[in-house]
Amino acid sequence: MPSPGAPVPPRLPVEDSYLELLADTLESLDLPARGQFLQRYIRAITHLDLRETQCIQLWDEMLSRRRELSENLGRPVALKTALMDVLASAGLFRVPIVIEYDELKTLQLNAVTDPLTGLYNRRLFSETFEKELNRGRRYGSPLGLVVLDLHRFKEVNDKHGHPRGDEVLRAAAATLKKALRTSDSAFRIGGDEFALLLPQTDAEQALALSRRVETVFAEMLQPLQLTVGVSMDHGVATFPQDGEQAEQLIRVADERLYRLKHANHGKAGNGGSRTQSDSVRAEQPSSPERAATPPAPISIESGRAPERPEPRPEPAKPEPSPSSEASKPSEAQTPRSYTIQRKAERVSMAGTNAYATLGEQGMRRARVLDLGFGGVAIELDTQEDLPENLIAVLHVPILPPVRVSLKPVWTQRTTQGNFRVGCAFVS
């Protein structure tokens, strides 16, 4: 026990105490066990793959160096100090840098993250894009690319200032984060430009996601009370239909994005996906063959009804409305039936975890196949007698759970043996 007047030795930090205990423990181990332990320990702290004999030799040199340094300095030297000196002297650390692990992880995250939005940056976008393309080639799976930018964003900075513009960018990032699955990735690749990588996602699913993103983004902007009508435009390309290289897919997505922006230019409202269908139709004119079996995302998108062609020139003809209504079925009899205006557009939920709980107690569960303004299609594993008025809670991406009243209208057996049920919303 030290005398009352003797100086109290400084207390060792936890790391140094651990190393001292480690040194004492290693002395009691035989040589093979000591070499095996040291090999794993040195790999863990230095990421160096060394032989067991090298590790034993380095450890012995470290103990000897500590004694030498302690004698020269006249005070105890920590084992980690001696270990770093030995590793650097042996040439194993060419540029030795000491950094805390948490700080290292922070640096790694900052290197690939946009500081304003928290999304991944353009550098990681390029790396991730190539990895996902290689995975798609290897397993023959589709990959969706969505390029987005904010329409009239510059006007926000000019009228409201850059701080408000930053809020708009953060709202866009929050929208994208909510929309994605765990396998998807969102990136900020420019000032007001974003990109999504959607593994195992075909054109129809990517377009459905893009439309949902636009809708939710408009809702998230409402609290900002902007005087500028900002919207989010999108362009979609899919591997391998639109190309097999990253440059090809980016070019296709950019072309479709700017075609949409050109179609939306001068409009007062947000640029919606219906306007994009007009621009897409200008790129690839519709044909009966495309209507029957759309081979590419463009033809899938062009299956939506046009809004701008004929309605304006014809307001002076209200009297023949019965005959005009009668003329619509004749057009529908042709293979171009998709050109007729749809009153309740459907959005596919394929590739998502969308589901519905049925009944007041929510005891039964069904998959949600698609969703529209007029109703929803669900899928059941077995045929069931559903009541005429059915209470359900819908769980779909982005939106909170929604309680609705449904009226089953038709039932169809699928090729997989399940049962698809079309339901109309009842107010």
Answer yes or no: 202 catalytic: no
Order of strands across the sheet with 193-199? 185-188, 193-199, 143-151, 231-239
Compute, in degrees rounded to 10, the torsion defined by CA atoms 398, 240, 244, 124. Answer: 20
Q: Which helix (H) or strand (E) holds 196?
A: strand 193-199
Residue whose entry in the numeric block shows the structure tokens 């709202």: 171
**How remote is the C-alpha of 22 from its chain's centroid?**
45
User: How far apart, in whole angstroms, are the C-alpha atoms of residue 379 and residue 367?
Assistant: 5
Angle between the N-to-C axes of helices 273-283 and 246-264, in degrees from 0 to 180, rounded to the nearest 10: 110
Residue tagged active-site, from 149, 192, 202, 370? 192
Q: Which residues pair with 425 in a beta bridge?
A: 406
Looking at residue 43, its amino acid is R
Burial 110-130 (b: 16+ CB within 10 A, else e): eebbbeebebbbeebbeebbe
HSE value, Cβ hemisphere, 13 Å, CA-based, for 269: 6
Q: Which helix (H) or strand (E) holds 23?
A: helix 14-27
Q: Is 104 exposed, middle or buried (0-12, 13-18, 19+ CB in 10 A)?
A: exposed
User: How far apart, in whole angstroms, are the C-alpha atoms of residue 50 and residue 253?
Assistant: 48
User: How far apart, in whole angstroms, are the C-alpha atoms of residue 228 and residue 214?
Assistant: 16
Q: Is 257 exposed, middle or buried (0-12, 13-18, 19+ CB in 10 A)?
A: buried
**Residue 113: DSSP 8-state:** B
User: How far apart, in whole angstroms, are the C-alpha atoms of residue 227 and residue 292?
Assistant: 44
Report which of 74, 76, 96 is spatially closest to residue 85, judged by C-alpha positions: 96
3-class secondary structure for 284-351? CCCCHHHHHCCCCHHHHHCCCCCCCCCCCCCCCCCCCHHHHHHHHHHHHCCCCHHHCCCCCCEEECCC
Residues forming the active site: 192
